[in-house]
Amino acid sequence: MKVLVISAAFPPFRAGEATNALYLCRYLADRKLDVHVLTSQSNTAIDDPRITIHPIMHRWSWSELLRFGTFVKRCSPDVVLLMYIGWIYNDHPMITFAPTISKTLLPSVPFVTRFENVIGTLPDRCPILTRFLRKGFKLWAGAKDVDYEFGTLLRDSDHLIVLSDDHRARLAKRFPAVNSKSVLAPPPPNMRMSPENDGAARHRGREMLGVKPDDFVMVYLGYIYPGKGIETLLKAFQMVSRQRSNLKLIVVGGVLADEYPDGPSYAQEMYELANQLSIDHKLTWTGYYAWDSDEASVYLRAADACVLPFDWGVYLNNSSFAAACAHGLPIITTQGALLEVPFIHQENVFLCPPKNPEAIAAAIEALLDNPDLDQRLRAGARDLAQEWFSWDRTIERTIATFS
């Protein structure tokens, strides 16, 4: 089977969507599928003979509509899989009509859209000409059920892949048929995994971090931008570290400036906050890690617990949570407006209210003082990883949408 994967984000592009697309393609190739990737011109870092990369797109705009359609027709795949979130396509509406374009050119070829999040394009922020052409394209596609942010992605995709039940519910409010044609497939760890059974990775990681054998190391994993709750984590860490001299914190991840223009200034604010809280000597910022290294995995092996204090709460689409689960770490995180069924407080996760440093601090204390809780959360995280964050399960769910 020939699979065409469309993704503007692909290594060396720095975003979780890029590494997720890469690993998805590699695991599809492991199933003996003929994988082709249509991506942006700058994404030329991959040299994998099992995957054919076509880095021919520039702005993903109306001016490239002919190039896009010509390539899809010439590629002649058996199925098309679009990896979608608005910002990686420069918030341009052209790609939101991709299923209609594809079905016009290749009527019998299934088209699948995987929603990396439910963040579409906002045409009213686009130039007047872009909005004018979108209106014309909407008429061409048939105006009924064309969504303002998502074009014909919801209507004309044969199947949808959603990464959380929250995403499915929010999309179904816009187009009820989403419920009947969507598959839930949360993202597994999008990193190269280090060995887990010989202790060498843990030793190497702790040596890289310069921590002592009896230090208790907490890890935060993810890009640094507003909404991740890093300020909550720093304040909570200060509260606990006053009484626990052997407590260390590592923040693993770089700044996602392309998606969040204020990202660098936010990161600087966090560096300054750590200094103001007088915890900078107990804190390590590892910075960005290469997509093709096992550095992040080694740091997770070195850690004793993971804290992810998201402002909006944890959901199945959080790939950093998936990575912590896959490494069998006890995880402290936050509960938002919706708690998805797989998350069970004090069984596979320790849940706290968002933006509450005192609650996070109390959870850390509970974990430090209760070995039984620690072991229960570790076992629960591993079970959660096997059920929901396994690449084998994700690929099976993905391939099931191809017919």
The span from the CA of 111 to the CA of 230, in Å, is 38
Per-residue pLDDT reduced to its tens digit, 353-376: 999 999 999 999 999 999 999 999
Residues 368 and 306 in one domain: yes
Residues 156 and 43 in one domain: yes
Residues 353 and 280 in one domain: yes
The span from the CA of 146 to the CA of 154, in Å, is 8
What pLDDT was estimated at residue 261?
Answer: 54
What pLDDT was estimated at residue 5?
Answer: 98
The pLDDT of residue 394 is above 50: yes
> Would you say how long the chain is, in residues?
403
What pLDDT was estimated at residue 263?
Answer: 53
Per-residue pLDDT reduced to its tens digit, 304-350: 999 999 999 999 999 999 999 999 999 999 999 989 999 999 999 99
Q: Are 239 and 357 in contact (CB under 8 A)?
A: yes
End position of a domain, from candidates 150, 184, 218 = 184
Q: Are 186 and 317 in contact (CB under 8 A)?
A: yes
Residues 213 and 155 in one domain: no
Residue 273 lies in a domain: yes
Residues 219 and 110 in one domain: no
Section 245-274 average pLDDT = 80
**In CATH, what number is assigned to the domain containing residue 273?**
3.40.50.2000
Determine how β-strand 305-308 pairs with β-strand 283-287: unpaired
Per-residue pLDDT reduced to its tens digit, 209-258: 999 999 999 999 998 889 999 999 999 999 999 999 999 999 998 886 55
Residues 37 and 144 in one domain: yes
Section 149-168 average pLDDT = 97
Greater model confidence, 46 or 240:
240
Residues 210 and 301 in one domain: yes
Greater model confidence, 276 or 199:
276
Residue 192 lies in a domain: no
Residue 62 lies in a domain: yes
Residues 208 and 95 in one domain: no
Residues 167 and 34 in one domain: yes
Residues 114 and 257 in one domain: no
Mean pLDDT check: name the lowest of 76-80, 170-174, 185-189, 200-204: 200-204
Q: Residue 301 belongs to what domain range?
A: 200-388
Q: Are 88 and 9 in contact (CB under 8 A)?
A: yes
Overall number of domains in the chain: 2
**Cα angle vertex 209, ends 198, 229, to 5°?**
105
Residue 398 lies in a domain: no
**Mean pLDDT score across all residues of the chain:** 93
Residues 355 and 266 in one domain: yes
End position of a domain, from candidates 158, 184, 210 = 184
Greater model confidence, 224 or 78:
78
Of the candidates 248, 250, 237, 247, the residue with the CA atom closest to the CA atom of residue 286: 250
Residue 400 lies in a domain: no
The span from the CA of 203 to the CA of 193, in Å, is 15
